[in-house]
Protein backbone atom coordinates (compact mmCIF):
# COMPACT_ATOMS: atom_id res chain seq x y z
CA UNK A 1 0.00 0.00 0.00
CA UNK A 2 1.47 3.39 -1.04
CA UNK A 3 1.39 6.61 0.97
CA UNK A 4 -1.70 7.89 -0.82
CA UNK A 5 -3.67 4.77 0.01
CA UNK A 6 -2.48 4.97 3.62
CA UNK A 7 -3.67 8.56 3.79
CA UNK A 8 -7.08 7.68 2.32
CA UNK A 9 -7.48 4.82 4.79
CA UNK A 10 -6.60 7.16 7.65
CA UNK A 11 -9.01 9.88 6.52
CA UNK A 12 -11.94 7.50 6.17
CA UNK A 13 -11.13 5.73 9.45
CA UNK A 14 -10.96 9.12 11.16
CA UNK A 15 -14.39 10.08 9.89
CA UNK A 16 -15.88 6.80 11.04
CA UNK A 17 -14.26 7.08 14.49
CA UNK A 18 -15.60 10.60 15.02
CA UNK A 19 -19.04 9.58 13.80
CA UNK A 20 -19.25 6.53 16.06
CA UNK A 21 -18.26 8.62 19.08
CA UNK A 22 -20.98 11.20 18.59
CA UNK A 23 -19.49 13.99 16.45
CA UNK A 24 -22.06 15.96 14.41
CA UNK A 25 -21.92 15.77 10.62
CA UNK A 26 -20.25 19.17 10.01
CA UNK A 27 -17.46 18.30 12.48
CA UNK A 28 -16.90 14.94 10.78
CA UNK A 29 -16.65 16.53 7.33
CA UNK A 30 -14.34 19.30 8.50
CA UNK A 31 -12.01 16.86 10.27
CA UNK A 32 -11.82 14.61 7.21
CA UNK A 33 -11.17 17.56 4.88
CA UNK A 34 -8.45 18.95 7.15
CA UNK A 35 -6.76 15.55 7.46
CA UNK A 36 -6.87 15.04 3.69
CA UNK A 37 -5.32 18.45 3.06
CA UNK A 38 -2.57 17.79 5.56
CA UNK A 39 -1.59 14.61 3.72
CA UNK A 40 -1.65 16.29 0.33
CA UNK A 41 -4.74 14.64 -1.15
CA UNK A 42 -7.94 16.14 -2.44
CA UNK A 43 -11.31 14.89 -1.35
CA UNK A 44 -14.96 15.70 -0.94
CA UNK A 45 -16.93 14.42 2.04
CA UNK A 46 -20.57 14.15 3.03
CA UNK A 47 -21.80 12.79 6.36
CA UNK A 48 -25.28 11.92 7.57
CA UNK A 49 -26.36 10.35 10.88
CA UNK A 50 -26.07 6.87 9.34
CA UNK A 51 -23.45 7.09 6.58
CA UNK A 52 -20.30 8.78 5.29
CA UNK A 53 -19.51 9.41 1.63
CA UNK A 54 -15.94 10.18 0.58
CA UNK A 55 -14.65 10.89 -2.93
CA UNK A 56 -10.94 11.10 -3.84
CA UNK A 57 -9.99 12.12 -7.42
CA UNK A 58 -6.92 10.28 -8.76
CA UNK A 59 -6.37 12.86 -11.52
CA UNK A 60 -6.81 16.55 -10.55
CA UNK A 61 -7.36 17.36 -14.23
CA UNK A 62 -10.39 15.01 -14.28
CA UNK A 63 -11.75 15.30 -10.72
CA UNK A 64 -15.07 13.61 -11.47
CA UNK A 65 -14.20 10.91 -14.00
CA UNK A 66 -11.20 9.73 -12.00
CA UNK A 67 -12.80 9.92 -8.57
CA UNK A 68 -12.65 6.98 -6.18
CA UNK A 69 -15.88 7.14 -4.17
CA UNK A 70 -16.41 5.27 -0.91
CA UNK A 71 -19.51 4.66 1.20
CA UNK A 72 -19.17 3.84 4.90
CA UNK A 73 -22.32 2.67 6.68
CA UNK A 74 -22.28 3.66 10.34
CA UNK A 75 -24.63 3.66 13.30
CA UNK A 76 -25.00 6.93 15.19
CA UNK A 77 -23.43 6.78 18.62
CA UNK A 78 -23.58 8.88 21.76
CA UNK A 79 -20.63 11.14 22.58
CA UNK A 80 -17.68 9.31 24.12
CA UNK A 81 -15.58 12.17 25.42
CA UNK A 82 -12.50 10.14 26.38
CA UNK A 83 -12.33 8.64 22.90
CA UNK A 84 -12.86 12.05 21.31
CA UNK A 85 -9.91 13.41 23.31
CA UNK A 86 -7.72 10.48 22.27
CA UNK A 87 -8.75 10.87 18.60
CA UNK A 88 -7.88 14.57 18.71
CA UNK A 89 -4.46 13.70 20.12
CA UNK A 90 -3.79 11.21 17.32
CA UNK A 91 -4.87 13.71 14.68
CA UNK A 92 -2.60 16.36 16.13
CA UNK A 93 0.38 13.99 16.15
CA UNK A 94 -0.34 13.08 12.52
CA UNK A 95 -0.59 16.70 11.44
CA UNK A 96 2.66 17.55 13.21
CA UNK A 97 4.39 14.75 11.33
CA UNK A 98 5.16 12.77 14.48
CA UNK A 99 3.43 9.64 13.17
CA UNK A 100 2.64 8.37 9.69
CA UNK A 101 -0.84 7.95 8.26
CA UNK A 102 -0.61 4.19 8.76
CA UNK A 103 0.42 4.61 12.40
CA UNK A 104 -2.37 7.12 12.94
CA UNK A 105 -4.90 4.67 11.51
CA UNK A 106 -3.57 1.97 13.83
CA UNK A 107 -3.94 4.41 16.73
CA UNK A 108 -7.57 5.03 15.83
CA UNK A 109 -8.18 1.28 15.78
CA UNK A 110 -6.60 1.06 19.23
CA UNK A 111 -9.03 3.68 20.53
CA UNK A 112 -11.90 1.36 19.67
CA UNK A 113 -10.39 -1.35 21.88
CA UNK A 114 -9.66 0.82 24.91
CA UNK A 115 -11.74 -0.04 28.00
CA UNK A 116 -14.27 2.39 29.41
CA UNK A 117 -12.74 4.82 31.92
CA UNK A 118 -15.46 4.12 34.50
CA UNK A 119 -16.60 0.78 35.90
CA UNK A 120 -20.15 -0.53 35.53
CA UNK A 121 -21.06 0.11 39.21
CA UNK A 122 -19.91 3.72 38.91
CA UNK A 123 -21.92 4.11 35.71
CA UNK A 124 -25.00 2.65 37.37
CA UNK A 125 -24.71 5.06 40.31
CA UNK A 126 -24.35 7.93 37.83
CA UNK A 127 -27.66 6.93 36.21
CA UNK A 128 -29.43 7.05 39.57
CA UNK A 129 -27.89 10.30 40.76
CA UNK A 130 -28.48 12.08 37.44
CA UNK A 131 -32.19 11.20 37.63
CA UNK A 132 -32.36 12.31 41.26
CA UNK A 133 -30.68 15.60 40.34
CA UNK A 134 -33.17 16.12 37.52
CA UNK A 135 -36.04 15.60 39.97
CA UNK A 136 -34.55 18.31 42.20
CA UNK A 137 -34.37 20.69 39.21
CA UNK A 138 -38.04 19.94 38.51
CA UNK A 139 -38.95 20.94 42.08
CA UNK A 140 -39.65 17.46 43.40
CA UNK A 141 -39.89 16.55 47.06
CA UNK A 142 -38.01 13.79 48.86
CA UNK A 143 -40.39 11.04 47.71
CA UNK A 144 -40.30 12.12 44.08
CA UNK A 145 -36.53 12.45 44.15
CA UNK A 146 -36.13 8.92 45.53
CA UNK A 147 -38.58 7.57 42.95
CA UNK A 148 -36.65 9.27 40.15
CA UNK A 149 -33.39 7.79 41.47
CA UNK A 150 -34.97 4.33 41.45
CA UNK A 151 -36.15 4.77 37.87
CA UNK A 152 -32.69 6.00 36.92
CA UNK A 153 -31.16 2.82 38.33
CA UNK A 154 -33.65 0.73 36.32
CA UNK A 155 -32.71 2.64 33.16
CA UNK A 156 -29.04 2.12 33.98
CA UNK A 157 -29.52 -1.64 34.36
CA UNK A 158 -31.29 -1.77 31.00
CA UNK A 159 -28.51 0.28 29.39
CA UNK A 160 -25.75 -1.93 30.76
CA UNK A 161 -27.68 -5.04 29.73
CA UNK A 162 -28.06 -3.70 26.19
CA UNK A 163 -24.27 -3.62 25.85
CA UNK A 164 -24.24 -7.42 26.05
CA UNK A 165 -27.41 -8.17 24.08
CA UNK A 166 -28.06 -6.97 20.56
CA UNK A 167 -31.73 -7.86 20.92
CA UNK A 168 -32.15 -5.69 24.00
CA UNK A 169 -30.23 -2.84 22.41
CA UNK A 170 -32.80 -2.67 19.60
CA UNK A 171 -35.67 -2.20 22.07
CA UNK A 172 -33.79 -0.39 24.83
CA UNK A 173 -35.87 2.79 24.73
CA UNK A 174 -39.40 1.35 25.05
CA UNK A 175 -38.22 -1.40 27.39
CA UNK A 176 -36.55 0.99 29.84
CA UNK A 177 -39.51 3.36 29.73
CA UNK A 178 -41.97 0.48 30.23
CA UNK A 179 -40.14 -0.97 33.23
CA UNK A 180 -39.61 2.42 34.85
CA UNK A 181 -43.20 3.58 34.41
CA UNK A 182 -44.74 0.26 35.48
CA UNK A 183 -42.64 0.04 38.66
CA UNK A 184 -43.37 3.68 39.48
CA UNK A 185 -47.12 3.06 39.01
CA UNK A 186 -47.00 -0.06 41.19
CA UNK A 187 -45.24 1.75 44.02
CA UNK A 188 -47.40 4.87 43.83
CA UNK A 189 -50.53 2.72 43.56
CA UNK A 190 -49.93 1.35 47.06
CA UNK A 191 -50.89 4.82 48.34
CA UNK A 192 -53.69 5.36 45.84
CA UNK A 193 -51.61 7.83 43.82
CA UNK A 194 -50.30 8.10 40.29
CA UNK A 195 -46.69 8.91 39.44
CA UNK A 196 -46.08 12.50 38.44
CA UNK A 197 -44.99 13.12 34.87
CA UNK A 198 -41.98 14.98 36.24
CA UNK A 199 -40.86 11.81 38.03
CA UNK A 200 -41.06 9.77 34.82
CA UNK A 201 -39.20 12.48 32.91
CA UNK A 202 -36.49 12.65 35.57
CA UNK A 203 -36.12 8.86 35.61
CA UNK A 204 -35.71 8.77 31.84
CA UNK A 205 -33.59 11.93 31.62
CA UNK A 206 -30.51 10.07 30.38
CA UNK A 207 -32.44 8.60 27.42
CA UNK A 208 -34.25 11.75 26.33
CA UNK A 209 -32.99 13.13 23.00
CA UNK A 210 -32.55 16.74 24.08
CA UNK A 211 -28.96 16.87 22.87
CA UNK A 212 -29.98 15.22 19.59
CA UNK A 213 -32.70 17.80 18.99
CA UNK A 214 -30.33 20.67 19.75
CA UNK A 215 -27.63 19.20 17.48
CA UNK A 216 -30.11 18.80 14.65
CA UNK A 217 -31.18 22.44 14.88
CA UNK A 218 -27.53 23.51 14.94
CA UNK A 219 -26.81 21.45 11.82
CA UNK A 220 -29.74 23.00 9.98
CA UNK A 221 -28.59 26.45 11.11
CA UNK A 222 -25.17 25.98 9.48
CA UNK A 223 -26.73 24.72 6.24
CA UNK A 224 -26.35 20.95 6.71
CA UNK A 225 -29.98 20.21 5.90
CA UNK A 226 -29.71 16.49 5.16
CA UNK A 227 -28.09 15.58 8.45
CA UNK A 228 -30.10 18.08 10.49
CA UNK A 229 -33.51 16.93 9.29
CA UNK A 230 -32.58 13.24 9.56
CA UNK A 231 -31.28 13.73 13.09
CA UNK A 232 -34.40 15.69 14.02
CA UNK A 233 -36.62 12.83 12.87
CA UNK A 234 -34.45 10.41 14.83
CA UNK A 235 -34.96 12.49 17.96
CA UNK A 236 -38.72 12.58 17.44
CA UNK A 237 -38.82 8.80 17.00
CA UNK A 238 -36.84 8.42 20.24
CA UNK A 239 -39.43 10.53 22.05
CA UNK A 240 -42.25 8.43 20.58
CA UNK A 241 -40.54 5.17 21.59
CA UNK A 242 -40.11 6.41 25.15
CA UNK A 243 -43.69 7.69 25.25
CA UNK A 244 -45.04 4.35 24.04
CA UNK A 245 -43.12 2.40 26.67
CA UNK A 246 -44.00 4.80 29.48
CA UNK A 247 -47.70 4.93 28.57
CA UNK A 248 -48.06 1.15 28.41
CA UNK A 249 -45.98 0.68 31.55
CA UNK A 250 -48.06 3.18 33.49
CA UNK A 251 -51.26 1.45 32.46
CA UNK A 252 -49.95 -2.01 33.38
CA UNK A 253 -48.76 -0.76 36.77
CA UNK A 254 -52.19 0.74 37.44
CA UNK A 255 -53.97 -2.53 36.63
CA UNK A 256 -51.94 -4.42 39.21
CA UNK A 257 -52.24 -1.79 41.92
CA UNK A 258 -55.91 -0.79 41.71
CA UNK A 259 -57.17 -3.44 44.14
CA UNK A 260 -54.57 -2.60 46.76
CA UNK A 261 -55.05 1.14 46.44
CA UNK A 262 -55.59 3.08 49.65
CA UNK A 263 -56.80 6.66 50.12
CA UNK A 264 -54.18 9.02 48.78
CA UNK A 265 -51.80 10.26 51.45
CA UNK A 266 -49.25 13.07 51.25
CA UNK A 267 -45.87 11.58 50.44
CA UNK A 268 -42.51 13.11 51.20
CA UNK A 269 -41.60 16.60 52.29
CA UNK A 270 -40.00 19.55 50.61
CA UNK A 271 -36.26 19.52 50.08
CA UNK A 272 -34.13 22.24 51.70
CA UNK A 273 -33.09 25.15 49.48
CA UNK A 274 -29.44 24.07 49.34
CA UNK A 275 -30.45 20.80 47.64
CA UNK A 276 -30.63 22.66 44.32
CA UNK A 277 -26.98 23.65 44.59
CA UNK A 278 -26.03 20.10 45.55
CA UNK A 279 -27.83 18.82 42.46
CA UNK A 280 -26.07 21.47 40.37
CA UNK A 281 -22.71 20.03 41.46
CA UNK A 282 -23.70 16.37 41.24
CA UNK A 283 -25.45 16.42 37.85
CA UNK A 284 -22.44 17.56 35.74
CA UNK A 285 -20.22 14.90 37.30
CA UNK A 286 -22.83 12.22 36.59
CA UNK A 287 -23.25 13.39 33.00
CA UNK A 288 -19.48 13.40 32.65
CA UNK A 289 -19.35 9.79 33.82
CA UNK A 290 -22.15 8.73 31.48
CA UNK A 291 -20.41 10.37 28.52
CA UNK A 292 -17.05 9.01 29.72
CA UNK A 293 -15.33 12.35 30.18
CA UNK A 294 -11.67 12.08 31.25
CA UNK A 295 -11.20 12.50 34.99
CA UNK A 296 -8.66 15.28 34.47
CA UNK A 297 -11.33 17.42 32.81
CA UNK A 298 -14.10 17.05 35.40
CA UNK A 299 -13.35 20.48 36.92
CA UNK A 300 -13.95 22.13 33.54
CA UNK A 301 -17.11 20.07 33.06
CA UNK A 302 -18.47 21.34 36.38
CA UNK A 303 -17.41 24.93 35.66
CA UNK A 304 -19.09 25.03 32.24
CA UNK A 305 -22.27 23.42 33.58
CA UNK A 306 -22.61 25.70 36.61
CA UNK A 307 -21.88 28.88 34.65
CA UNK A 308 -24.27 27.80 31.89
CA UNK A 309 -27.05 27.17 34.41
CA UNK A 310 -26.63 30.55 36.06
CA UNK A 311 -26.32 32.11 32.62
CA UNK A 312 -29.76 30.77 31.72
CA UNK A 313 -31.16 32.18 34.98
CA UNK A 314 -29.65 35.57 34.13
CA UNK A 315 -31.13 35.26 30.65
CA UNK A 316 -34.63 35.08 32.11
CA UNK A 317 -34.19 38.56 33.55
CA UNK A 318 -32.42 40.03 30.52
CA UNK A 319 -34.16 38.56 27.47
CA UNK A 320 -37.16 36.70 28.87
CA UNK A 321 -37.96 33.12 29.83
CA UNK A 322 -38.53 31.86 26.29
CA UNK A 323 -35.01 32.74 25.13
CA UNK A 324 -33.06 32.40 28.39
CA UNK A 325 -31.29 29.24 27.19
CA UNK A 326 -29.57 31.32 24.49
CA UNK A 327 -27.43 32.99 27.13
CA UNK A 328 -26.87 29.66 28.88
CA UNK A 329 -25.70 28.00 25.68
CA UNK A 330 -23.54 31.03 24.89
CA UNK A 331 -21.79 30.80 28.28
CA UNK A 332 -21.26 27.03 28.06
CA UNK A 333 -19.78 27.29 24.56
CA UNK A 334 -17.61 30.24 25.53
CA UNK A 335 -16.15 28.37 28.51
CA UNK A 336 -15.66 25.23 26.41
CA UNK A 337 -13.83 27.11 23.66
CA UNK A 338 -11.66 28.87 26.21
CA UNK A 339 -10.80 25.47 27.68
CA UNK A 340 -9.95 24.18 24.20
CA UNK A 341 -7.66 27.09 23.41
CA UNK A 342 -5.88 26.76 26.74
CA UNK A 343 -5.48 22.97 26.84
CA UNK A 344 -5.50 22.08 23.10
CA UNK A 345 -8.16 19.48 23.84
CA UNK A 346 -11.61 19.10 22.21
CA UNK A 347 -14.14 21.69 23.39
CA UNK A 348 -16.82 19.00 23.30
CA UNK A 349 -15.57 17.60 26.64
CA UNK A 350 -17.14 20.34 28.82
CA UNK A 351 -19.67 21.36 26.15
CA UNK A 352 -21.80 18.21 26.06
CA UNK A 353 -22.37 17.80 29.84
CA UNK A 354 -22.92 21.55 30.15
CA UNK A 355 -25.63 21.59 27.50
CA UNK A 356 -27.52 18.72 29.10
CA UNK A 357 -28.77 21.09 31.80
CA UNK A 358 -30.32 23.26 29.07
CA UNK A 359 -31.51 20.96 26.26
CA UNK A 360 -35.27 20.53 25.66
CA UNK A 361 -35.64 16.74 25.80
CA UNK A 362 -37.69 16.75 28.99
CA UNK A 363 -40.00 19.47 27.64
CA UNK A 364 -40.58 17.44 24.48
CA UNK A 365 -41.49 14.35 26.47
CA UNK A 366 -43.95 16.39 28.55
CA UNK A 367 -45.59 17.74 25.39
CA UNK A 368 -46.24 14.23 24.08
CA UNK A 369 -47.64 13.12 27.45
CA UNK A 370 -49.94 16.15 27.41
CA UNK A 371 -51.23 15.23 23.95
CA UNK A 372 -51.73 11.66 25.13
CA UNK A 373 -54.08 13.03 27.81
CA UNK A 374 -56.09 14.70 24.99
CA UNK A 375 -54.94 18.19 25.94
CA UNK A 376 -53.81 18.99 22.42
CA UNK A 377 -53.62 22.76 22.84
CA UNK A 378 -51.27 22.55 25.83
CA UNK A 379 -49.27 19.84 24.07
CA UNK A 380 -48.76 21.96 20.97
CA UNK A 381 -47.82 24.94 23.13
CA UNK A 382 -45.23 22.84 24.95
CA UNK A 383 -43.90 21.46 21.66
CA UNK A 384 -43.47 25.04 20.44
CA UNK A 385 -41.51 25.68 23.62
CA UNK A 386 -39.19 22.79 22.62
CA UNK A 387 -38.47 24.48 19.30
CA UNK A 388 -37.79 27.81 21.00
CA UNK A 389 -35.37 26.24 23.48
CA UNK A 390 -33.50 24.37 20.75
CA UNK A 391 -33.25 27.45 18.54
CA UNK A 392 -32.12 29.58 21.49
CA UNK A 393 -29.33 27.17 22.41
CA UNK A 394 -28.22 26.87 18.78
CA UNK A 395 -28.13 30.67 18.45
CA UNK A 396 -26.05 30.96 21.62
CA UNK A 397 -23.59 28.38 20.33
CA UNK A 398 -23.23 30.11 16.96
CA UNK A 399 -22.55 33.52 18.54
CA UNK A 400 -20.04 32.07 21.00
CA UNK A 401 -18.15 30.31 18.20
CA UNK A 402 -17.89 33.61 16.34
CA UNK A 403 -16.65 35.57 19.34
CA UNK A 404 -14.23 32.95 20.65
CA UNK A 405 -13.77 29.99 18.28
CA UNK A 406 -12.20 26.82 19.56
CA UNK A 407 -8.57 26.40 18.57
CA UNK A 408 -8.19 23.77 15.90
CA UNK A 409 -5.02 21.83 15.25
CA UNK A 410 -4.67 23.74 11.98
CA UNK A 411 -3.73 26.83 14.01
CA UNK A 412 -0.73 25.13 15.57
CA UNK A 413 0.63 22.95 12.78
CA UNK A 414 2.05 23.88 9.37
CA UNK A 415 0.35 22.74 6.19
CA UNK A 416 2.04 19.85 4.41
CA UNK A 417 3.47 20.61 0.97
Answer yes or no: is 238 within a domain. Answer: yes
What pLDDT shows up at residue 71? 92
| Domain boundary pick from 226, 257, 283 | 283
Whether 51 and 107 map to the same domain: the answer is: yes
What pLDDT shows up at residue 413? 41
Whether 180 and 52 map to the same domain: the answer is: no
Whether 221 and 236 map to the same domain: the answer is: yes
| Domain boundary pick from 259, 283, 307 | 283
Answer yes or no: is 37 within a domain. Answer: yes
What pLDDT shows up at residue 266? 57
- Between 5-19, 326-340, 347-361, 375-389, the lowest mean confidence (pLDDT) is in 375-389
Whole-angstrom distance, CA of residue 22 vs CA of residue 294: 16
pTM, 2 dp:
0.88
Answer yes or no: is 288 within a domain. Answer: no
* Domain with 414 in it: 293-417
Whether 55 and 109 map to the same domain: the answer is: yes
Whether 195 and 241 map to the same domain: the answer is: yes
Instruction: State what percent of residues in the chain have pLDDT above 70.
Output: 87
Q: Are 47 and 28 in contact (CB under 8 A)?
A: yes
- pLDDT (mean) for 382-396: 80
What pLDDT shows up at residue 416? 37
Answer yes or no: is 32 within a domain. Answer: yes
What pLDDT shows up at residue 263? 47
Whether 266 and 350 map to the same domain: the answer is: no
Answer yes or no: is 35 within a domain. Answer: yes
Q: What is the pLDDT of residues 131-148, one digit of tens each?
A: 999 989 888 888 889 999
Tell me, letter by letter, the H, E, C secondary structure of the chain.
CCHHHHHHHHHHHHHHHHHHCCCCHHHHHHHHHHHHHHCCCCCEEEEECCEEEEEEECCCCCCCCCEEEEEEECCCCCCCHHHHHHHHHHHHHHHCCCCCHHHHHHHHHHHHHCCCCCCHHHHHHHHHHHHHHHHHHCCCCHHHHHHHHHHHHHHHHHHHHHCCCHHHHHCHHHHHHHHHHHHHHHHHHCCCCCCCHHHHHHHCCCCCCHHHHHHHHHHHHCCCHHHHHHHHHHHHHHHHHHHHHHHHHHHHHHHHHCCCCCCCCCCCCCCCCCHHHHHHHHHHHHHHHHCCCCHHHHHHHHHHHHHHHHHHHHHHHHCCHHHHHHHHHHHHHHHHHHHHHHHCCCCHHHHHHHHCCCCCHHHHHHHHHHHHCCCHHHHHHHHHHHHHHHHHHHHHHHHHHHHCCCCCHHHCCCCCC
Based on the structure, what is the number of domains in the chain? Answer: 3
Whether 27 and 65 map to the same domain: the answer is: yes
Whether 84 and 215 map to the same domain: the answer is: no
Whether 167 and 56 map to the same domain: the answer is: no
Whether 253 and 393 map to the same domain: the answer is: no
Whether 88 and 171 map to the same domain: the answer is: no
Instruction: State what percent of residues in the chain have pLDDT above 90.
Output: 41
Answer yes or no: is 339 within a domain. Answer: yes
Q: In which band, very low, low, confident or very high, does the pLDDT at 17 lie, cut at 50, 70 and 90?
A: very high
Averaged pLDDT of the chain: 85
Answer yes or no: is 210 within a domain. Answer: yes
| Domain boundary pick from 283, 308, 338 | 283
- Between 148-162, 183-197, 322-336, the lowest mean confidence (pLDDT) is in 183-197
Q: In which band, very low, low, confident or very high, does the pLDDT at 320 lie, cut at 50, 70 and 90?
A: confident
Whether 192 and 241 map to the same domain: the answer is: yes
Asked whether the predicted pLDDT for residue 36 surpasses 50, the reply is: yes
Asked whether the predicted pLDDT for residue 303 surpasses 80, the reply is: yes
Q: What is the pLDDT of residues 184-225, one digit of tens each?
A: 888 887 776 777 888 888 899 889 888 888 889 889 988 899
Asked whether the predicted pLDDT for residue 373 surpasses 80, the reply is: no
Amino acid sequence: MNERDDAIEFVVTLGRALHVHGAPAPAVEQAMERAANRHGIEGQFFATPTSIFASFPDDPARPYASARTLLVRVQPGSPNLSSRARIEEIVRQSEQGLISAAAARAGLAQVEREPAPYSRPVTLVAFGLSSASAAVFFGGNTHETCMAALLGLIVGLCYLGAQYSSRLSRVLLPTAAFLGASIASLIEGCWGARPEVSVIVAGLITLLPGLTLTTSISEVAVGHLASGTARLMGGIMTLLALLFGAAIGGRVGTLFSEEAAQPQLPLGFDLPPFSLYCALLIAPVCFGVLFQAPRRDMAWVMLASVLGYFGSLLGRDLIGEHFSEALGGFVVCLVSNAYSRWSLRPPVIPLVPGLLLLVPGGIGFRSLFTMLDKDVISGVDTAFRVALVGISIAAGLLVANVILPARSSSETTPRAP
